[in-house]
Amino acid sequence: MRVSTSLINHSNTNSILKKQTDMFNTSQQLGTGKRVLTPSDDPVASTLAFNAKNKLANIEQYGKNIDYAEKSLQISESTLDTIHNRLQRARQLMIQANNDTLGDDGRKTIGLEMREITYQLEKLVNTKDEQGNYIFSGSKVDTAPFAKQTDGSYEYQGDAKERDVQISDSVRTPLNMTGKEIFEDIDSALFAESPITSYPSDSNTSTGDIAATGSQAFLNGNQIGDYEIEITNDAVTPPEIIVTGPTGSVIDLSAPAAGTANTLEALASYLNSGADASTGNLALALPVSPPAPADQAPVTGDSFTLRVNNEKQDMLTGMQRLAETLEGFTGAEKDADMLASSLNDLDSWLNSVEVARTEHGTRRNSIDAIGGNNDNVELYLKEQVSNLEDLDYAEALGQFILEQTALQASQQTFSKTATMSLFNYIS
């Protein structure tokens, strides 16, 4: 077969270019330490490494989420510890206040400290994290969980939804418990003893008392406490009354029928209509004459304190009630009863906070366990990527030397053949 000069040149040029390309690719591998530089180098290994890298990116984000969750739970735990300490101090004070040797002035002094502790607790339950989010507001992180109302009561403004973050492919962890479940929905010792209690004034002309049966609906914080009831007209049945609520405001029980008289039946209806659409079956009545003896039937000017308790109560409202009782302590039966039940209520608040602390600790342990598993998976994936992509330097250096030798041989051969011509042999 006859081979033309142009074919020889073309073939040698292509051979040299290919060897240069091979040597360049090997040098790139040596420079980067990677065997697979493009998907075409090894399609299967490239795909497997790509999937592994995606999982590694997810694990990196999970790590950031875990760090945030850890910090959030640490802030919550620290805050709960401080709240627990403040409640312990309040319990010590109430033990002192229940001591019969302590005078009224001593109880009023304790009431001032209880008021200060209540203020401190208000600030603590409205704690923010390092990002400025309220930690006990549920998902409403921009809203203070507890707000003091103009009437002095406290209202929970957050929601019952716990925030959570993804910490692995299959696990989401809640960050914080809500203020509602820790500080609001707490069993009331007062309600357990008596949902409704009546205390007649010592200055009453009559000896009768308000009879209460059943229990009221679930009420707002500002509806819980002592209702001051005064008989304004005993000439009618039922007697007309005027009612001052727990926050010190007179309650108009005539609505929606304007102009109708305020009566105990109207007060019972008011207390049977709950804030959460619940209904109660409370019934209130005064003894009337006849059939009751004349000295039992209340007359105009007689007054009563009706203590209304919720099945659940919030910690701040309970603390406020204790402070008010101590500050205005008179030695009356209603004040003594409030102090007597205070230790049980404080125990309920302390228990609720302790349960929350335990729950936070359990969540942190769970996060640590998931984080440890993520670390193991990350190590395995990095090994897989290394096995798929990383270069065997010994093998690559040997390959580079062979390619360099082949390139040099091709270049030398081409330089010899390129100068060959028939005219060199014609004389």
Residue 148 has pLDDT above 80, yes or no: yes
Q: What is the pLDDT of residue 315?
A: 92
Q: Which CATH superfamily is domain 34-193+313-390 in?
A: f41 fragment of flagellin, N-terminal domain (1.20.1330.10)
What pLDDT is stored for residue 292 in this prediction?
66
The pLDDT tens digits for 342-380 are 888 999 999 999 999 999 999 999 999 998 888 888 888
Type of residue found at 275: A
Share of the chain above pLDDT 70, in %: 77
Q: pLDDT band for 244, please (50, 70, 90 cuts).
A: very high
**pLDDT exceeds 80 at position 21:** no
pLDDT at 191: 82
Q: Which residue has the higher pLDDT, 170 or 40?
A: 170
Predicted confidence band at 168 (pLDDT cuts at 50, 70, 90)?
confident
Q: Is the model's pLDDT at 110 over the cut of 90?
A: yes
Look at residue 340 and tell me whether its pLDDT is greater than 90: no
pLDDT tens-digit series, residues 201-234: 989 988 889 999 888 888 887 788 899 999 998 8
Tell me the three-class secondary structure of the chain, residue by residue.
CCCCHHHHHHHHHHHHHHHHHHHHHHHHHHHHCECCCCHHHCHHHHHHHHHHHHHHHHHHHHHHHHHHHHHHHHHHHHHHHHHHHHHHHHHHHHHHHCCCCCCHHHHHHHHHHHHHHHHHHHHHHCCECCCCCECCCCCCCCCCCEEECCCCCEEECCCCCCCEEECCCCCEEECCCCHHHHHHCEECHHHHHCCEEEEECCCCCCCCCCEEECCCCCCCHHHCEEEEEEEEECCCCCCEEEEECCCCCEECCCCCCCCCCCCHHHHHHHHCECCCCCECCCEEECCCCCCCCCCCCCCCCCEEEEEECCCEECHHHHHHHHHHHHHCCCCCHHHHHHHHHHHHHHHHHHHHHHHHHHHHHHHHHHHHHHHHHHHHHHHHHHHHHHHHHECCHHHHHHHHHHHHHHHHHHHHHHHHHHCCCHHHHCC
Domain locations in the chain as residue ranges: 34-193+313-390, 195-308
Assessment of whether the complete model's pTM goes beyond 0.85: no
Beta carbons of 59 and 166 less than 8 angstroms apart: no
- At residue 326 the predicted structure's pLDDT band, cuts being 50, 70 and 90, is very high
Position 47 pLDDT exceeds 90: no
Neighbouring CB atoms inside 10 A of 171's CB total 16
Does the pLDDT at position 1 exceed 70?
no
Q: What is the mean pLDDT of residues 261-279?
A: 86
- For the cut 90, the answer to whether the pLDDT of residue 59 exceeds it is no
Does the pLDDT of residue 29 top 70, yes or no? no
Look at residue 154 and tell me whether its pLDDT is greater than 70: yes
The DSSP bridge pattern shows strands 196-200 and 303-308 to be: antiparallel
The tokens for 371 are 């984080």
142 CB-contact burial (10 Å; exposed 0-12 / middle 13-18 / buried 19+): exposed
Q: What is the pLDDT of residue 289?
A: 67
The pLDDT of residue 307 is: 92
- Indicate the pLDDT class of residue 14, thresholds 50, 70 and 90: low
Q: Residues 400, 26: contact at Cβ < 8 Å?
A: yes
Q: Would you say 223 and 245 are in contact if contact means Cβ atoms under 8 Å apart?
A: yes
What confidence score (pLDDT) does residue 39 get?
62
Mean pLDDT of 259-288: 85
185 pLDDT exceeds 70?
yes
Per-residue pLDDT, averaged over 106-128, amounts to 94
Q: Which pLDDT band holds residue 137 (cuts at 50, 70, 90)? A: very high
Mean pLDDT score across all residues of the chain: 82
